[in-house]
Structure formats: C-alpha cells, structure tokens
Amino acid sequence: MTKNRKHHPQSCIQRLTLPRKDGGRGLIDIVNLHNAQIANLRSYFHNKNTSLHIAIVQNDHKFTPLNLLDKTTKQSNEITISNQNKIEEWAKKSLHGRHYRDLNLPYVDKKASNEWLRRGELFPETEGFIFAIQDQVIETRNYRKHIMKTQNAIDVCRKCNNPLENIQNITGSCKTIVQTEYKHRHDQVANIIHQELALKYNLIKIPRTPYYKYKPELMLENSTHILYFDRTILTDKTTHFNRPDITLVNKIEKTALLIDIAVPNTHNIQSTVAEKITKYTDLKIEVKRMWNLNTVTIVPIVISTTGVIPTMIHDSIKTIGLHKNIYIILQKAVILNTCRIVRKFLQID
Ligand SMILES: [Zn+2]
C-alpha cells in the first residue's frame, strides 16, 4: 500500500485493519486470521478423543505446522490482536493518537465523523492522504525539525512566517491562503447548503447541479421565501458582523435564519460555534426589529478541516429543514478540499 501511495509510511498501522466505523481502513488482518486458524485447528485436534485424532496428535512432533504433540502453545486470544487492543495502541501514540482523542471529545459525533470512511467513496490514495493528515505525519517544517530531527531545520511557515508550520497551520490557519484556499473550501460548503435550500423552497426551478459548478444567486425570492447569499444587511444601529453567509426569510411565518459556515481545525470547532453565536447576536436583534419578524435564529454550520463532525451540526441541519444526511456531502467536500490545500501548499517548497 505504501508503494502505491495508498498508505503513508509513517501513518498509524493499527488503523489499517480497524473497522471503518471506528476510524480504520477496514482491511482484513491476515496475520490474525492465520493465527486464529492455527489455534482453532489445534484445539480441535486436542479436544477430539477418537483413537484416530489421538494417534495424529501423538505422532505430530513438529511434523505439521500445527505441532500437535506440544500442548503448551498459546490459545487463540493470546496469538491474535483484538480490535480493542489496536484501538488502545492507536490512542497511546503521541502523534497518531491526537485524531483518536478528537473523535472521542464529548462534543464530537464519532460515528458521523467516520461516515465518509464507512461509505468509502474516495480513492484509496485520497484516503491514505487524509489519514496522513489526521495522523499528523505530513512532512511539514515542524515535522522535519521535531520528528525527523533534521539538522538546522527551521519550522517557520514557508508562506506566512508564522513561527510554527505544522499540519494545523496548513489545513486551517495560514494567513496567506485565508482569502483563496480556505475561502474556496468554505464557499463549497455554503454552495451545497444554498442550493438545497433554494430547491426545498422552490426558489430555483433547474435540477440539482454538482456543488462545484453551482453559482448561488445573491437574492432569490418567491411568494413565501427570500434567500440571500453573502449579503450585507444594513442596520440602523451599527453592527460589526452583518454579513452572514446565507439568510433565509420565511414571509408567511415571519421568521429568519442567519446561517454562517466555518471550517476550522478540529481543536477549534467548539469555540467557533460559540463565536458565531456571539458575533451575530446584535444583527439578530436588529433584523428582528427592522423586518418586524417573530423569530430570528443564528445557525452555525461547523465542520472540521479533517471532516470531524460536532454533534451540534445535526441541530443546525434540523433547524434549516434540510435532510439529516446532508452533512455527509458537506464532509466529503471539506475532506477533498483539505487534501487539495495540503498538496498545493507542500509543492511550493
Ligand atoms: Zn502560514
């Protein structure tokens, strides 16, 4: 797999044979199968008390690979490695274990975070690459200096001079690509949501187009709804944050949703959700008053750069009335974009 670029040589080996729903690649553990087979056959012969079986056992002194005469060898559970064992090994590792710990945070939906894997729609190369990103073994300058211990290596970001070029700096916090690469990834998520809302409320008549080709209209309106994309909302009172990604007004029920999207690094997902809500509170009050609405709701849609899903996303999706599985499409778009960003970033050096 390494030779064919489907598994990074420094990536976590335990993840290869763990089930996909648990964050692994789901390959068959052939060593385990082999060892289990030996243990099963040995115990079969040792427990059968017919004269034939007894004769075979007595004569097999290193005559077959089962070596049946020696009854001291180990039982199945002693020579095979359980998934629980592998998970513990993975969790223990200082670099590889970080993604494991992210998946087990109280505000993370572990099952949803591994859904892209369970569905297996990406190329094996892409899977291997996002695993290397999650395992933090991508050769960033920080990795070279502190893990490979390359002499005289510097770990200042090659693009923005941030003192630390680690994988998180590349996937979500390098200042030089905020307006280009990160914006593109963010907009793809916004486009998916915009198109789904436009279709749901009959604001567009054309059939669904692939999200990477979809261009949202700045304003769509019919007799029941208005949908704004990336529109500055002018208010009487100054509000510092007055440009949510998507604004949906329900004219009949007199309600509005202020939808804002973010793709932060995993360690920032919790704070990003809180930040969105505080940021738009002034706007929410102003919009409710100016447009004479019954309710205005701030809806943060947050997915981590490596596809980790916070549990709150399900509430957000429910609030905006989209299908509960829409997050799977968002997750795939984010993962593909993060892979593209990291590849592009590293080619420059
Ligand atoms: Zn940078």
Q: How far is the CA of 160 from the centre of ligand 1 (A)?
A: 4
Q: How far is the CA of 140 from the centre of ligand 1 (A)?
A: 11
What is the tally of helices (H) and strands (E) in the chain? 15, 5
Q: How far is the CA of 309 from the centre of ligand 1 (A)?
A: 25
pLDDT of residue 349: 41
Tens of pLDDT, residue by residue, the chain (349 residues): 999 999 999 999 999 999 999 999 999 999 999 988 888 899 899 999 899 999 999 999 988 888 899 887 677 677 888 899 999 999 999 999 999 999 999 999 999 999 999 999 999 999 999 999 999 999 999 998 888 898 888 889 988 888 889 999 999 999 999 999 999 999 999 999 999 999 999 999 988 999 999 999 999 999 999 999 999 999 888 888 999 999 999 999 999 999 999 999 999 999 999 999 999 999 999 999 999 999 999 999 999 999 999 999 999 999 999 999 999 999 999 999 999 999 999 984 4
The rounded distance, in Å, linking the Cα atoms of 132 and 12 is: 8
pLDDT of residue 151: 85
Q: How far is the CA of 262 from the centre of ligand 1 (A)?
A: 19
Strands in the chain per DSSP E: 219-221, 225-229, 246-250, 255-262, 295-302
Q: For the chain, which residues make up each domain, given as ranges? A: 30-79, 177-347
pLDDT of residue 163: 83
Q: How far is the CA of 176 from the centre of ligand 1 (A)?
A: 6
pLDDT of residue 188: 97
- What distances in angstroms separate CA 176 from CA 139, 157, 160, 213, 342, one per listed residue? 19, 10, 6, 25, 13
Q: How far is the CA of 182 from the centre of ligand 1 (A)?
A: 12
pLDDT of residue 312: 96
320 close to 257: Cβ distance less than 8 angstroms: yes
Record the tokens describing residue 172, joined without a space: 């979500």
The alpha carbon dihedral of 304, 188, 178, 157 has a sign of positive
Q: How far is the CA of 342 from the centre of ligand 1 (A)?
A: 12
pLDDT of residue 348: 45
pLDDT of residue 237: 84
145 close to 20: Cβ distance less than 8 angstroms: no
Query: What torsion do the CA atoms of 265, 231, 315, 255 make, to the nearest 10 degrees?
Result: 160
Amino acid residing at 9 = P
Nearest to 259 by CA among 230, 223, 237, 282: 230
Q: How far is the CA of 346 from the centre of ligand 1 (A)?
A: 11
The rounded distance, in Å, linking the Cα atoms of 203 and 222 is: 6
Q: How far is the CA of 141 from the centre of ligand 1 (A)?
A: 11
Q: How far is the CA of 172 from the centre of ligand 1 (A)?
A: 9
